[in-house]
Amino acid sequence: MKIGIAGAGLLGRLLAFELVRAGHRVEVFDPAPDAQARGAAGWTAAGMLSPVAELECADEHVFALGVESLRLWPRLIAALDAPVEMHQRGSLLLAHRGDEGCAMRVLGLLRNAPPDHAPQQLDTQALRELEPTVQGCAHAWLLPLEGQIHCVQAMAALAVSGTARGVRWHWGTRVASATAGCLRIEQDVHRFDWVFDARGIGARPQLPVRGVRGEILWLHAPGLSLHRPLRLLHPRHRVYLVPREGHHVVVGASEIESEDRSPVSLRSTVELLAAAHSVIPELAEARIVHTETNLRPALPDNLPCVTQADGLTRINGLFRHGWLIAPALVAQALARLHAVPRSQPA
Ligand SMILES: Cc1cc2nc3c(=O)[nH]c(=O)nc-3n(C[C@H](O)[C@H](O)[C@H](O)COP(=O)(O)OP(=O)(O)OC[C@H]3O[C@@H](n4cnc5c(N)ncnc54)[C@H](O)[C@@H]3O)c2cc1C
């Protein structure tokens, strides 16, 4: 089929790569000036692949998509033409003395996880063996099956690998509307056998999507040994630390009901970094090498939504969970697409 995709963020790139691999002719349209321009939320994400920890603010469907995506990511990465860092070494939930109430509330929300995913409480010795640099946390739990992905590498690798297989990218091109088999760009209507709308917050007014501001900071901490993502269970802040190759640690993320894309605020910097330092005092001499703000695309219920009609698939509302669930969502959308009988007007 001749396929048009509106949006070259995380979803658009993944769709393009999978569709071209399946033998379709694929064109992608995005207002970004080129493949490296970092407008999409996908670039900014910390890349936590945390189906269990995210049960705090997601449902069992997101959990199931996350577990399935954790299975799909390694295969996808193996098919890409450039390396992408991904690990599945579990993640840690941490709480300071005095924050037990908050920790118990969060753990209560995770109780629906199946036994092999359930949080495992660690004593001081077990925590020290897993992550010697973590100090000052009275309580720790291991989520054994969680993972992480290097989002910047993955965004770049998906574009390069799509191009190598024949995806045509139309950069600097805003799609005004996506309807069955049609993308409208300024006054022109471009016709396709099937259209995917993956414009994130750009899908308004066709979807009631909003942007939720998120801020992150990258630290450079040579010599620091951190093997897996950490999450501090704190009554005021959701703070996590994600180690990345090159001695980097991504500290994130604020979650603010605002579409302000301006630089990271002093308040977020102080809160996120104070929390990070409280967990790993050795970070004191780390250097802040990069800060970034972006908008998570969210629907009113903060849950993902896929709608599929003849000639049109819309996927949106990935909110905090894009990297966690995109491979499974895309696989499901493609399975439905390929199940459409050839005689239909697709
Ligand atoms: C600070 C932060 C931390 C995060 N951390 C995590 C994490 O640890 N784990 C996780 O799973 N998720 C995380 N996320 C969420 C994840 O990044 C998003 O869920 C994901 O990027 C959504 O993918 P998307 O393709 O729908 O949107 P995007 O990646 O935002 O892409 C949308 C694309 O559509 C394009 N577009 C917009 N308007 C138009 C138009 N009119 N025409 C054509 N194209 C258009 C945009 O230019 C963009 O390229 C985080 C997000 C943020 C901001």
Q: How confident is the model at residue 184 (pLDDT cuts 50, 70, 90)?
A: very high
The percentage of the chain sitting over the pLDDT mark of 70, rounded to a whole number, equals: 98
Atom 23 of ligand 1, residue of closest alpha carbon: 10
Mean pLDDT of 201-208: 96
Please, which pLDDT band fits residue 338 given cuts at 50, 70 and 90?
A: confident
CA separation, residue 133 to residues 127, 129, 247, 253 (Å): 10, 10, 14, 21
CA separation, residue 165 to residues 27, 81, 153, 333 (Å): 12, 10, 18, 20
Mutate to test the pocket of ligand 1, among 52, 143, 296 (most ligand atoms within 8 A of CB): 296
- Whether the CB of 90 sits within 6 Å of ligand 1: no
pLDDT category at 345 given cuts 50, 70, 90 is very low
pLDDT digits (tens, 9 = 90+) for 147-160: 999 999 999 999 99
Question: Using one digit for the tens of pLDDT, what is the confidence trace for 243-261?
Answer: 999 999 999 999 999 999 9
What is the DSSP annotation of 246-304?
TTEEEEE---BS----SPPPHHHHHHHHHHHHHH-GGGGG-EEEEEEEEEEEE-TTSS-
Is 90 exceeded by the pLDDT of residue 63? yes
| Ligand 1 pocket member 323 (CB < 6 A) | yes
| Cα 107 from chain centroid (whole Å) | 22
- Low-confidence winner among 41-45, 233-237, 249-253, 310-314 (lowest mean pLDDT): 233-237
Atom 6 of ligand 1: nearest residue by CA position: 45
- Asked whether the predicted pLDDT for residue 277 surpasses 60, the reply is yes
Shortest CA distance to 10 belongs to which of 330, 342, 224? 330
Q: How many CB atoms lie within 10 A of CB 286?
A: 23
Q: Is 45 in the pocket of ligand 1 (CB under 6 A)?
A: yes
- pTM (2 decimals)? 0.96
| Tens-digit pLDDT profile for residues 25-45 | 999 999 999 999 999 999 999
Tokens, residue 128: 């020290």
* Contact between residue 78 and residue 17 where contact means Cβ atoms under 8 Å apart: no
Higher pLDDT: 138 or 301? It is 301
The region that residue 246 occupies, defined by phi over 0 for left and psi between -120 and 50 for alpha, beta otherwise, is left
> Which ligand 1 atom sits nearest the alpha carbon of residue 212?
53
Atom 50 (ligand 1) nearest CA:
45
Distance (Å) from CA 47 to ligand 1 centroid: 12
Distance CA 211, CA 223 (A): 37
